[in-house]
């Protein structure tokens, strides 16, 4: 088995490795209370090339994109070390958590704004001021 050249690494192995990466990402996200709507590899165009592989992660109406080299995927297929890529996945998940917190803060701010403008006790009453006679 050639590690650096990855001569044995073909589409079925890439698909298996991508499933492992996705499962690890889902597990990390669950630790933050994040669930994904869905994930898409290479725009659903297959995994038959040795170039960078694109992963689109859709969650809460947002999407994040991350790229993996063929070597990184090969690592998850059992051909190498995954520590660096695992660190990237943890960083990505923490970033998603921060994005979600910001979205929640914005939603809370909007809800508070909507509530304060609808409460009559905060609105200035319209008074009719009599005109002076000349």
DSSP string, 17-73: HHHHHHHHHHHHHHHTT---SEEEEGGGS-S-SSS-EEEEEEETTEEEEEEE-HHHH
pTM beyond 0.95: the answer is no
Domain limits, the chain: 11-117
- What pLDDT, on the 0 to 100 scale, is given for residue 80? 67
Q: Tell me the per-residue pLDDT of 106-120, one tens digit each, with 9 for 90 and over.
A: 877 777 777 655 544
Burial of 71: CB neighbours in 10 Å, binned 0-12, 13-18, 19+: middle
* Mean pLDDT to the nearest integer, 11-26: 89
Percent of the chain with pLDDT over 70: 75
Structure tokens at 79: 């051909």
Residue 126 clears pLDDT 50, i.e. is over it: no
β-pairing, 53-59 with 62-68? antiparallel
């Amino acid at each position: 088995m050639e590690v650096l050249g990855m001569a044995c690494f073909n589409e079925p192995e890439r698909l298996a490795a991508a499933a492992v990466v996705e499962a690890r990402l889902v597990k990390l996200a669950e630790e933050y209370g994040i669930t994904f709507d869905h994930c898409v590899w290479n725009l659903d165009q297959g995994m038959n090339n040795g170039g960078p592989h694109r992963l689109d992660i859709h969650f809460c109406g947002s999407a994040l994109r991350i790229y993996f080299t063929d070597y990184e995927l090969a690592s998850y297929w059992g051909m190498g070390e995954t520590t660096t890529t695992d660190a990237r996945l943890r960083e990505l998940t923490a970033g998603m958590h921060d994005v979600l917190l910001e979205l929640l803060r914005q939603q809370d701010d909007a809800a508070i704004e909507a509530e304060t403008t609808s409460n009559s006790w905060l609105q200035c009453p319209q008074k009719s001021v009599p005109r002076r006679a000349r």
